[in-house]
Amino acid sequence: MEIPLLNDIVIIFGMAIAALFVCHRFHIPALVGFLFTGIIVGPYGFQLIKAVHEVEILAEVGIVLLLFTIGIEFSFKKLLRIRRAILIGGSLQVLLTFGATFFITWKLGQSPGQAVFLGFLVALSSTAIVLKLIQDRAEVDSPHGRTTLGILIFQDIIIVPMILVTPLLAGTAGNLEGALFFLLAKGIGIILLVIVSTKWIVPRVLYHVARTRNQELFLLSIVVICFGVAWLTSKAGLSLALGAFLAGLIISESKYSHRALGNILPFRDVFTSFFFVSIGMLLDVDFLLEQPWTIFLITAGVLILKAVAACIAALCLGRPLRTAILTGLALSQVGEFSFILSRTGVEHGLLGGNTYQMFLAFSVLSMAATPFLIILSPRMADWVLKLPLPARLIGGFHPAVEIPTEKIKDHLIIIGFGVNGRNVAHAARLSGIPYLILEMNPQTVRKEQARGEPISYGDSTQAIVLEHANIKEARIVVAAINDPASTRRVTELVRRLNPQVHLIVRSRYLEEMKSLYHLGANEVIPEEFETSIEIFTRVLTKYLIPRDKIETLVTEIRADSYEMFRNLSRTSAAFSDLKPYLQDVDISTFRITQGSPCIGKTLAEIDLRKHYEVSVVAIQRNGDTLSNPGGQTPLHAEDVLFVLGSTQKIAEAINALVAEG
């Protein structure tokens, strides 16, 4: 028996493989390949797909799974942290885009009802496309990623009253007040259900399911939770995507979130491809070819209008101009929920004929342009920031109190106050090291300033911000931010402003190390590599391997793994310059603790150079530094020795002295 849907699935995947292969060869985003596949196989292309409606259903499943995985990777705590972006940023973006579109279309001859409806359509952006792209770029936790997510969540909520108002615009509204009342009641009920499920129901259910150690049972339980919550929100008149996102948030609060995410990811990637293909199937190529310049001009106008509106909304949230530009360009396309809303408009006579085809054409083209806009957005932002703009506009409008930094010297600058930044600041505070923190979240800055932290608000990709932190007098800079593009920009800028400073950069992946070293970082700490070291350290500890042996092994592995990248560092006039030429040579410190047999002995007596091929180049004692100490220099308790030698020999010398002590 022939199954039409199966034939269509084979055709879609076969064409998608070919399109993705071509896109990969020419470095074109995969999303464009999926859209192009939809254009070819769709009803306006070669008409290879028969079960169009069934493909659209699979596309809905893809949206649900995409938002579900994003919800799992997020959390209610993170959601609360972006509540201003949701309520203020989202409402401003929708209001500004709607108002501008209404005014333009009304002046062009549309009726007030049609102009309002077109404003609704243009105001919405693509949650599926944008979140997929920023997730692939590891920018969900970046400042512009959080702002973008907040605005998208507001859009997913605001579509409900838009759908309810549409019949009123066409003069066919029923009992609108009653519909709004029941919608509000259902919404409150769903919120209560989500809270109860997060606190009590889901954790207990997943605990008992996990105890069975049955993979199939666990997977089915996750799928039921995902689609069950999405179904409930759909029944309440809300979107499936919003319900899936809430289901992901529910699971994110349990200890089984990582296992659930690993099980769902393969299905998400498969079904999400159907969504992008289904969008491509909507484009009427003949209509596009009849009036290409008109459609392209409208598409460009929509992209610019939406980018400016979202940029203004981000600026009103206090975001720096660079973050606002990245947010605006990410939200410049028309969204998938606009297609759902457009069908309601067609049913009520608000959209039809050439207007509907024009809407489909510029919407699909705006979606196709989104990957390129997001890729180019950092360069475009840098170009705008070169213009003679007010410093207040570049830095962002914020109420944070600035920390006076004129007198601070030889200090540590910490860029980003996430988990890594907090740990570095805590260690610096305990060690008595002077430090400054630069952070882009105004709420975090205000809260930490009240606690006494030396923290300032500012975008560290701007030279004026780093100069305010007295970058030219700093000894060390630690860049611990989540945005890879901003990390590269900060690295290049810090090295240009202070060629002597020691720059330590946190990176997420090993593959980012090469470019960061080329830009001037002294040290790059990739999280995935350091995580692996921590894992095997704990494994060896459980096998009761001596601690000194573990530390020696860790030192050797770090030296071997980082050596190939260290040679790429381009710092000057510092000890790190010699590393490419003096292989496996490092400088380290060692404190003489109370009770050590070294106390009272001279450097000649312990003779580290003879026994371990390690030289003492300096001694720090009571705040003073003794450079090039002679052999007759005695060692005192709490002396800090600066030793030079190979990483392995340094580790052996320190381990031997600890063992003797």
One-letter amino acid at 489 equals R
pLDDT 10s digits, 313-352 = 999 988 888 899 999 999 999 988 888 788 778 878 888 7
Sequence-distant contacts of 169-177: CB under 8 A, at least 24 apart: 169/113, 169/114, 169/116, 169/117, 169/348, 169/350, 170/113, 170/348, 170/349, 170/350, 171/113, 172/348
**pLDDT of res. 437:** 92
pLDDT 10s digits, 347-395 = 788 887 788 889 989 999 999 999 999 999 988 998 998 888 887 788 7
Lowest-confidence segment of 23-37, 249-263, 564-578 by average pLDDT:
564-578
**pLDDT of res. 647:** 73
Q: What is the DSSP letter of 40?
A: H
Number of helices (H) and strands (E) in the chain: give both, helices first.
30, 10
Residue 573 predicted with pLDDT over 50: no
- What share of the chain in percent tops pLDDT 90? 21
Q: What is the DSSP letter of 331?
A: T
User: Average pLDDT for residues 507-522, to the nearest whole number?
Assistant: 83
Q: How confident is the model at residue 78 (pLDDT cuts 50, 70, 90)?
A: confident
pLDDT 10s digits, 202-249 = 888 988 898 888 888 998 999 999 999 889 888 877 778 778 888 888
**pLDDT of res. 306:** 96
User: Could you tell me which of 425, 441, 570 has the C-alpha nearest to residue 494?
Assistant: 570
Asked if the 4-179+256-384 domain carries CATH number 3.40.190.80, the reply is no
**pLDDT of res. 370:** 93
CA 158 distance to own-chain centroid: 24
Cβ partners under 8 Å of residue 426, min gap 6? none
With residue 446 as reference, give the H or E element that holds it.
helix 442-450
Lowest-confidence segment of 305-319, 386-400, 432-446 by average pLDDT:
386-400
pLDDT 10s digits, 159-175 = 778 877 887 777 655 55
pLDDT 10s digits, 592-646 = 877 777 888 888 888 888 888 888 888 888 877 788 888 888 888 888 888 888 7
User: Could you tell me which of 522, 416, 419, 428 has the C-alpha nearest to residue 469?
Assistant: 416
**pLDDT of res. 405:** 56
User: Could you tell me which of 408, 419, 308, 286 has the C-alpha nearest to residue 354?
Assistant: 286
**pLDDT of res. 576:** 47
Mean pLDDT value across the chain: 83
In sequence order, the β-bridge partners of residue 436 are 413
Q: Which residue has the tokens 């192009």?
A: 36
- For the CA atoms of 134, 135, 136, 141, what is the dihedral angle to 10 degrees? 80
User: Average pLDDT for residues 469-490, to the nearest whole number?
Assistant: 88
3 state SS of 82: coil
CATH class of 398-574: alpha beta
**pLDDT of res. 574:** 46
3 state SS of 178: helix
Q: Please tell me which of 186-190, 321-325, 484-488 the model is most confident about, judged by mean pLDDT.
A: 321-325
Residue 567 predicted with pLDDT over 70: no
CATH topology of domain 584-660: Alpha-Beta Plaits (3.30.70)
One-letter amino acid at 63 equals I
- Tokens standing for residue 585: 């040579």
What are the extents of the domains in the chain? 4-179+256-384, 398-574, 584-660
